[in-house]
Amino acid sequence: MQVLVLNCGSSSVKFAVVDTDDGRILDAAEEVEGGDHEVALAAIVALLHRHEPISRRIEAVGHRVVHGGEAFSGAVRIDTEVLRGIEAVSGLAPLHNPANLLGIRALTRAFPELPQVAVFDTAFHQTLPPRAYLYAVPRPLHREHGVRRYGFHGTSHRYVAHEAVRRLSLELEQSRIVTAHLGNGCSATAVQGGRSIDTSMGLSPLEGLVMGTRSGDVDPGLHEFLAGRLGLDAAGVTTLLNRESGLLGVSELSSDMRRLEQASREGHEGAQQAVELFCYRLAKQVAALVVALGRLDALVFTGGIGENSPDVRARVLALLAHLGLELDPERNARHGADAAGVISRDRPPVAMVVATDEEWLIASETAAVLGAAGN
């Protein structure tokens, strides 16, 4: 099946046309200037119309949707009820779900004859046990308001964990892997037997690791403190933690790890501290996730930073030497390209780099949903 995959992020809109049998046919991205997703989406639709021999063979549209709450534990064909469900949890992913909805509506207008499927970042984490997803807050907050850990980047964590099992020839049901998706947004997940059992992101994509502009974990009392000191309301504090914090906030320079690594080498103190904090907090989270697994077969790096920064990987593995992870510097410099992605010594546990392919997984999920539905 040829599937148009749309991924509306907070700052860009990516798409790909994927043949689920033969692989990727066409892909591109549009940057969102001034938060105007509609302009970016219009440019993508125009591009598809210019590639008419490709667009006329598209049989379905698959959308990445960040937050599905507890309502969606798997991919679903989009209808009015599904749209209402996505809208109902948009407040839990304010940088993403509204953009996802814009994408769904734009593609519905452009290709009204095509079936559309939502593939949720949160769905992979619906296998978390209560000890991992519950917060220690009054029970009615979960029962009545859905307050719990949901987790994100599920399509990426699922893809790279299964790819690591394949490359390492592990028994899927016995495998125990930590996956680290490191990009502008970052999260780590404990995957046991192919299923997510704990993860770093929570109710929203703000919890967990240090990210490009997101703070990750902070003291919950910080909201009240900042509101009093800065005169911000709750939404203002959340915006500060989502858009002005993380690598950008600590470095006072950039949210881009590539620029920070260069500035660190040039002696920029803020950049040095931002990179060190990023790696330290990631190593702490990986070690914590090994508690959930009981043992570790592999630590998998993916995402823009995870796939392309030997320095970040080396720093993290140095902090995790007590787990038995031993970096091979030459393999790491080559991103594991000639060793099936492995960047450590061959004895377990191993560290490896696996390039994520969320678009392929979304296309496959879309085809599976429509095949099961007879469409």
Considering the domain architecture, whether residues 219 and 333 belong to the same structural domain is answered as yes
State how beta strands 2-8 and 12-19 pair: antiparallel
- pLDDT reading at 38 higher than 90: no
Considering the domain architecture, whether residues 81 and 8 belong to the same structural domain is answered as yes
Burial of 171 (0-12, 13-18, 19+ CB in 10 A): exposed
Beta bridge partners of 186: 182
Residue partners of 316: CB distance under 8 A and separation at least 6? 180, 279, 282, 283, 286
Do 123 and 69 touch, CB atoms closer than 8 A?
Answer: no
- pLDDT reading at 189 higher than 70: yes
Considering the domain architecture, whether residues 195 and 102 belong to the same structural domain is answered as no
- pLDDT reading at 112 higher than 70: yes
**Which pLDDT value is given to residue 372?**
63
**Which pLDDT value is given to residue 58?**
93
Considering the domain architecture, whether residues 112 and 205 belong to the same structural domain is answered as no
Q: How many CB atoms lie within 10 A of CB 81?
A: 10
Which pLDDT tens digit goes with each residue over 92-107? Answer: 887 789 989 999 999 9
User: By C-alpha distance, which of 255, 195, 10, 131 is closest to 179?
Assistant: 195
3-state secondary structure of 77: strand
Considering the domain architecture, whether residues 233 and 299 belong to the same structural domain is answered as yes
**Which pLDDT value is given to residue 55?**
84
Q: How many domains does the chain have?
A: 2
- pLDDT reading at 180 higher than 90: yes
User: Does 235 map to a domain?
Assistant: yes
Residue 267 exposure: Cα atoms within 13 Å on the Cβ side: 0
Return the amino acid letter for 34: G
**What does the angle CA 31 – CA 65 – CA 21 come to, to the nearest 5 degrees?**
90
User: Does 345 map to a domain?
Assistant: yes
User: Does 127 map to a domain?
Assistant: no
Give the pLDDT band of residue 26 (cuts 50, 70, 90). confident
**Which pLDDT value is given to residue 275?**
98
Report the distance separating Cα 122 and Cα 83, nearest Å.
Answer: 16
Report the distance separating Cα 260 and Cα 270, nearest Å.
Answer: 9
Q: What is the DSSP string of 129-146?
A: -HHHH--SS-HHHHHHH-
Q: 135 — phi, psi (to 5°)?
A: -95, 150
User: Does 76 map to a domain?
Assistant: yes
User: Does 94 map to a domain?
Assistant: yes
Task: Name the DSSP letter for residue 5.
Answer: E
Which pLDDT tens digit goes with each residue over 216-238? Answer: 999 999 999 999 999 999 999 99
List strands edge to edge, sheet with 12-19.
23-31, 12-19, 2-8, 60-65, 116-120, 76-77
User: Does 361 map to a domain?
Assistant: no
Considering the domain architecture, whether residues 105 and 199 belong to the same structural domain is answered as no
Rounded percentage of the chain residues whose pLDDT exceeds 70: 97
Considering the domain architecture, whether residues 312 and 193 belong to the same structural domain is answered as yes
14 versus 362: the higher-pLDDT residue is 362
Considering the domain architecture, whether residues 306 and 187 belong to the same structural domain is answered as yes
- pLDDT reading at 162 higher than 90: yes
User: Does 153 map to a domain?
Assistant: no
Considering the domain architecture, whether residues 215 and 339 belong to the same structural domain is answered as yes
Instruction: Give the position of tokens 């798409």.
Output: 15
Lowest mean pLDDT among 18-32, 189-203, 239-253, 359-373: 18-32
Please report, for residues 5, 170, 184, 363, 369, the alpha-carbon distance to residue 162 in angstroms, rounded to integers and kept in the order given: 21, 10, 23, 16, 20
Give the CATH number for residue 263.
3.30.420.40
Residue 98 exposure: Cα atoms within 13 Å on the Cβ side: 10
- pLDDT reading at 47 higher than 80: yes
Residue partners of 331: CB distance under 8 A and separation at least 6? 338, 339, 342, 343, 344
What mean pLDDT do residues 25-49 have? 79
Task: Name the DSSP letter for residue 92.
Answer: G
User: By C-alpha distance, which of 205, 229, 102 is closest to 151?
Assistant: 205
Considering the domain architecture, whether residues 231 and 301 belong to the same structural domain is answered as yes
User: Does 51 map to a domain?
Assistant: yes
371 versus 25: the higher-pLDDT residue is 371
Considering the domain architecture, whether residues 55 and 197 belong to the same structural domain is answered as no
Give the pLDDT band of residue 37 (cuts 50, 70, 90). confident
Considering the domain architecture, whether residues 197 and 105 belong to the same structural domain is answered as no
Give the pLDDT band of residue 156 (cuts 50, 70, 90). very high
For residue 53, the enclosing domain spans 2-120
Active-site residues: which are they?
121
Give the pLDDT band of residue 360 (cuts 50, 70, 90). very high
